[in-house]
Structure 1
Amino acid sequence: MSAGERRAFNGGERIALYLTADGRCEACGADLETGFHGDHVIPYSRGGVTDVVNGQALCPPCNRKKGNSTMTQRRLRAWQKRALDAMDLSPGPNFMVTATPGAGKTTFALAAVEHFRRGCRNIVIVVPTSHLRYQWANAAAQFGLQLDPKFENSNLAVNRTYDGVVVTYGAVASQPHVYRRMSQSAFVVLDEVHHAGEDRSWGNAVKTAFQNATKRLLLTGTPFRSDDNPIPFVAYEPDENGILVSKSDVQYNYGDALVDSDGVVRPIVFPALDGEGTWDAGGVTTSGRIHNEQDPKEAKRALRTALAPDGKWIPSVIEQAHRDLIDARKETPDAGGLIIAEDQAKAKRYAEVLTSITGRAPVLAISEDPFASDKITAFANSRDPWLVAVKMVSEGVDIPRLIVGVWATNVEAELFFRQVVGRFVRTRRSPSGEPDTSIATLFIPSLPSMIQMAKKIEREIDHALSDKAKDDDVPAGNGGGGSTQPQGIIPLDSTRAEHHATILSGEQWLTPSIEEATRRVTELGFTPTSTNVAFAAKLTAKIMSEAAVVAQAPAVPAAPGMLFDMATPTTEPVAPPAPAAPAAPAAPAVPNYKKVSALRQQINIIVKRMCKTKGIEYSALNGELNRRVGVEKREKATIPQLEELLRIVTDMDRGR
């Protein structure tokens, strides 16, 4: 700060601050009166300039309360404040944060830049894609930081108009020495730092470019392996299997975010859809199902066939997704949908399918379109229903209105899957500050690997590692341009999508449970969307679980029944008359039909699983089980017989 630079805002600047704030304190919202304070967002004592871009109008009490801190720090979520405190105490130049998509990594990073920038000459943000350069620059402006998203290597130095630059890993790799000079005494943010490990030359370039930086903040959405190409500045530690995985200074996963009182993320439902594909392989016609646990190679070929736009599977999935989006827009009028395609050719065809279904062309964002980034930005701020993309929306792109998605790609990499999920779980707040209560839905194919990834998302198994996209026919990394169809395999046809399972909160419900939940939802007059059916299944399972426990308890006097209300998915006991004398509380009596229903459903789930995993014929296994307990048909079994059946089938499933 030069000695002659003024500290106070002048009269014209104060008027501008007042008008920008609409006459209200920007901290508490109270009406501003004569004598309001023109405050520096970044305090004058910490290098903040006396300029309206760094100013805000505050009432005197809020300004005194703020003191020498920044308003940004006071707006941080609890996890971000904890992370900033941890970074303050971290002695070294490197600090790594692993936070679930949607948690607010960008906000945290900019708060950290603001906090530490006095000791740094430049700011350098490195991102995976060109579109993210503009998103970071726009976000930084809200912090009073001016970043150049159009910086070219030929510029050699930061324009004095800016505090720093936002560039891609590709740009750094092409001329690392440009950034070596620029990053001397700089604050460097490596966004989605795992990208630096995609190519050995990229990792070497990052090390060369930023080894002299004063502070390096590394961001990622999930832990990752070191593989054969450790990423510079990342610390690694062995997991329980001895595999080196990234070590974070702060970790904030989806499970943390889901229960966070700040309302960081929204719940998500995964309907997993099965179906049959038919293809020609060297003149031989072959058919197979997507959910095939015995032959993963055939399952992948079936999926590729199902993804062919001329078949019946993918159009039927898009139809279901559009129905869910229509229902979501009744509650959230600007709710949006996203289809993730495996390549640009299919993305164009899916856009045509959507147009035929909805009567309206979706927004198509593919890398060959020079205006793709502008289209994504426009979509984020519009009320358009659908966006179709390949990989441009998988990482970092912030479109909180996305609620319904379709996974229409054969990529099985867990990191990519988590990044896509992150597009749907971001919440937004109402003008009053309340987070929205909508629930996201992502339709996925019923590949066993996809189902497991969906279950892990909400259970958040420690050391959830990214897997390279492994494919028996397609080279890893494909998906940006041409067709991914393997040579020698020609899609012929596919069936319409069939429900296999729905995953919610890490739990899986198979078709019988979903069919029962759909019936209940329909009977109650609600539209049976994927979301409310999933919650109905979850509630039904809860009731049945309680019934199964009570079924084994001693008989008790009659007690209240249960009220099933889909509008408020909870179980509410009907209040009984007050007892004549004090008595110990008794477990609620459960009608026998609920006990029977609970037992039969548990038996059916295990039987279906055994048939699929052990190759047993369904009718043969059921016949054998019925004979063991002496019943001709399951419908005629008594509660003791069903309990015995459940014990038998459970022992069989566990190999006893």
Structure 2
Amino acid sequence: MPLPELRNCQREAFDQYMADRKKTWLAMLTPGAGKTMFALAVAAKLKEMGVTNKVAVFVPSDNLRQQWAAVAAGFGLDLIPVRESADYEDWEFDGFVATYSQMAAGEGAERAHKAISTNRTIVIHDEVHHLGEKRAWGVGTIRASEGAERILMLTGTPWRSDDARIPWCTYDSDTGEVDVDFAYEYGYAVADGICRAVEFHSYDAELRYRDVMTEVTVSLKDSGKGRELGKMFDAVFDPNQPWTPGLLARAHELLMERRRDVHDAGGLVVTDSLETAEAIGKILERISGQPPTIVTSEKDDAVDQLDAFRKDGSRMWLVAIRMVSEGVDVPRLMVGCYLSRWKTPLYFRQFVGRFVRVRPECGPGFDAHVIIPAVSVLMEHAADIEQQLRDFSMALDGNDDDSDEWKHESCPANEAMKDQEATVPAQAGAADPHADPEARDALCEHGDAGSGQATLPFEQTVEVGSAEFYQSDRRGVGVSSAVYLPGEQLCRDSGMPTTWTRHLLSVLESKGVLAQVLGVAVPAAPPEPPKYRMKQMLRDEVKRLVYRLARMQARATGMDTKEYRGKRQRVINAELAKRFEYRAQCSSSTLKTIIAFLTSSIEQEAAADRRRTVCVK
């Protein structure tokens, strides 16, 4: 049967895995890049070659069992999601899919170990960072995997939030970071069109309380990271306060605007408890007129509900209690609300990963929108993600504007600017679209453990203020409310979906009329990243492409050994030095030219490889 075609990044990971031939191998692919497809292509190929005859997959959640089994069928692999103990050794199947929690119990680990060790088995650990060497899941899964022929580990975030080490991984002695065999990060994925860009909207709010006889006002963005922040969220997260309902109203407005372009776009709200999820569900039903889908691992039909939401584009909102943190493929999710107290970069990145999956029907510029509270720790997480993308884009493009992106014919900003270019609308942006207290009165929540500020007596709370738009972050560039809100109003006045606000602002800025059209003072552009960082990224990219081209050439000659690959790398580097100059002496512009040259060479080699494959068949 014809196997599914792999994306370039998946093919690159596949090629490197087959070339390395290591027993344990770790791939870091950013959420949305397609770890599942890559791993199953490896499993199918090893089975075809006779290296293995069974496949065992371990996943962090129940819904992923069915998802892996369904995708595996497309690769000619029949995997059974483990429900009964006999499923581990069911001879009618090519292997099984089990959860890490099933390994925490002694019987599950022993049954899996027997099935794995008595066959030539490739073991795939999905989101391996869930395992800690001395944690229950880790201990059981390590036992189950003993005797495996191959161990393939997958993750989008190769670190843990505690100090436990990830099994089978090696760590850099200087940095303490996990050594990966293959890395494909978010910046590459967006540049390659594999992942969608995310625009973060942060909202602030004020809490007024009485201390002795004095009324005190505190805000989210100034609340630090101590326990008082958690207490503040206890107050503002109260569904009876105006804050949360107002934020959800704003999120629903964004979703409706996005559905003008993408008719089945969906939204996701993540929270921490069933009680809160149900309260959020009632608020969303009042706002949207449609009850949302609420999924939690406590419900027996959670997997079925999630699958139904994935397929039914008429359903607008999904509310989840951590269950949709990772590994779930719902490409139509385009608006998110982070209403969780979890503050770790691991969890935050996995949440953001739910919105980066691209779809053929969505052209350039169809960004996802994620609403977060204006809390320093969350805004830092968002900035880290966006800065990575901005640095990568600037390193390759030499600038930080998005002008090429807005040449796409589907971008309404271009149409709007045909008549707006030299026109200053009267009082443009003067109206505050968030001023309606009935519609915009809320924000998310987040908690943090730590210390540093005195505990605030929130038991004497007077009231929680309405949600206030604070900042929009896209590709590492922040736009304050003073600029964003007038731009959003201009979108409304022009009949454009407000989800195109940042695009419109980019067009106005590129034409030099942003301040004139909006009638506001525009802050200076953020400083570029250090030149040394940009140049190092270019050098790393050249090194990566040289290695990839050498592997492809080695495979073509049938001499795919470490020694021959090294020889081909030296030959390629010598040719580059002759054609251009020694890499250490290359300017940034020359490095970009080398990258273009290598990319073209790789495409030609890939085309030749496809022709050879057809001839063999």
| TM-score after normalising by structure 2 | 0.69
User: Which residue, out of 449, 454, 461, partners 1:471?
Assistant: 449
Q: CA deviation at 1:124?
A: 0.7
Which residue type is aligned with residue 132 of structure 1? L
Counterpart-to-counterpart distance in 1, 2:262 and 2:101? 38
Give runs of aligned pairs for residues 308-457 of structure 1, distance below 5 A: 308-383=238-313, 384-430=315-361, 438-457=366-385
Counterparts of 2:138 and 2:224 in 1: how far apart (Å)?
A: 39
Contact 2:126/2:155, CA 8 A, preserved across alignment: yes
Instruction: Quote the offset at 1:449 in angstroms.
Output: 1.3
Runs of 4+ in 1 over 6 A off after TM superposition: 279-286, 595-598, 603-606
SS in 1 for 2:27: strand
2-side partners of 1:157 and 1:197: how far apart? 23
The one of 112, 115, 118 aligned to 1:179: 112
Per the alignment, residue 414 of structure 2 pairs with none
Structure 1 residue runs of 5 or longer lacking an equivalent are 1-39, 42-70, 463-467, 474-485, 545-561, 565-592, 607-656
After TM superposition, the structure 1 = structure 2 runs for residues 615-634 of structure 1, keeping only pairs within 5 Å, are none
Q: Secondary structure of 1:247's partner? A: coil
The aligned counterpart of 1:131 is 63
CA distance in 1, matches of 2:223, 2:458: 24
- How far 1:535 moved relative to its partner? 2.5
**AA aligned opposite 1:127:** V
Secondary structure of the residue that 1:166 maps to in structure 2?
strand
The match for 1:537 among 487, 505, 510 is 505
8 Å CA contact 1:265, 1:425 repeated in 2: yes
Pair 1:494 & 2:426 matched: no
| Alpha-carbon offset, residue 223 of structure 1 | 2.5
CA distance in 1, matches of 2:211, 2:92: 60
The residue that corresponds to 2:566 in the other structure is none
Amino acid corresponding to residue 343 of structure 1 in structure 2: S
Q: Per the alignment, do residues 285 and 190 of structure 1 end up closer, same or farther by CA in structure 2, a change over 3 Å counting?
A: farther
Cα drift, residue 283 of structure 1 = 12
Among 492, 508, 525, the residue aligned to 2:495: 525
CA shift at 1:345, angstroms? 1.0
Q: 2:183 aligns with which of 251, 276, 283?
A: 251
Query: What whole-Å deviation, never above 9, does each CA across 1:195-227 have from its counterpart, x for those lacking one?
Result: 112862322222222132111110111221595
Say if 1:155 and 1:540 are closer, same or farther in 2 by CA, change over 3 A. same
AA paired with 2:82? K
Q: CA deviation at 1:367?
A: 2.0
* SS of 2:322 mapped into structure 1: coil
Equivalent of residue 146 in structure 2, options 204, 211, 233: 211
How far apart in 2 are the matches of 1:596 and 1:523? 12
Deviations 1:332-388 (A, max 9, x none): 111111111121110010001011111221111122211111100000000201111
Give the number of the structure whose alpha-carbon radius of gyration is greater.
Answer: 1
2:464 and 2:68 map into 1 onto residues whose CA distance is 42
Decide whether aligned partners of structure 1 residues 295 and 170 sit closer, same or farther in structure 2, where only a CA change above 3 A counts. Answer: closer
The CA distance in 2 between the partners of 1:199 and 1:488, in whole Å, is: 39
Q: Does 1:140 align with 2:72?
A: yes
Aligned partner of 1:645 in structure 2 is none
Question: Contact 1:509/1:537 (CA < 8 Å) preserved in 2?
Answer: no
Contact kept, 8 Å, 1:305 with 1:492, in 2: the verdict is no
Q: Pick one of 181, 193, 204 that aligns with 1:274.
A: 204
**Backbone CA RMSD of aligned residues:** 3.2
Structure 1: distance between partners of 2:161 and 2:524: 43
User: 1:470, CA displacement in angstroms?
Assistant: 4.6
AA aligned to 1:453 is H
**Which residues of structure 2 form unaligned runs of 5+?**
391-445, 528-617
Provide, for residues 249-302 of structure 1, a one-character-per-residue CA deviation record: whole Å limited to 9, x for no partner: 111111110010xx3111211110111235699999865211116565444433
What is the aligned-residue identity percentage? 30
Which has the higher mean CA deviation after the structures are superposed, 141-150 or 188-197? 141-150
Cα distance change on mapping 1:487 and 1:367 into 2, 3 Å: farther
Secondary structure at 1:508's aligned position in 2? Answer: strand
Number of corresponding residues: 461
Per-residue CA deviation, residues 301-321 of structure 1 (Å, 9 max, x unaligned), is 333422221111111111011
The amino acid of 1:360's aligned partner reads Q
Instruction: State the match for 2:166 in structure 1.
Output: 231
Q: Decide whether the 8 Å contact of 2:486 with 2:518 is kept in 1.
A: no
Letter in 1 for 2:449: D
Aligned partners of 1:290 and 1:300 also within 8 Å: no
Q: SS where residue 181 of structure 1 aligns?
A: helix
The AA in structure 2 aligned to 1:120 is T
Does the CA-based 8 Å contact 1:289-1:302 persist in structure 2? no
Q: Which of 24, 46, 51 lines up with 1:94 in the alignment?
A: 24
**Superposition deviation, residue 526 in structure 1:** 2.5
Secondary structure, aligned partner of 2:183: strand
- How many angstroms does 1:147 deviate by? 0.7
Q: Does the 8 A contact of 2:272 with 2:341 survive in 1?
A: yes
| Distance across 1 between alignment mates of 2:461 and 2:328 | 33
Q: Which residue of 2 aligns with 1:165?
A: 96
Q: Classify 1:167/1:436 alpha carbon distance in 2 versus 1 (closer, same or farther; 3 Å).
A: farther
Question: Kindly tell me: are residues 237 and 270 of structure 1, through their superposed partners in 2, closer, same or farther at Cα, counting changes over 3 Å?
Answer: same
2:68 is paired with a residue whose SS is: helix
Q: Distance in 1 between matches of 2:96 and 2:33?
A: 24
In 1, the alpha carbon distance for the partners of 2:202 and 2:260 equals: 24
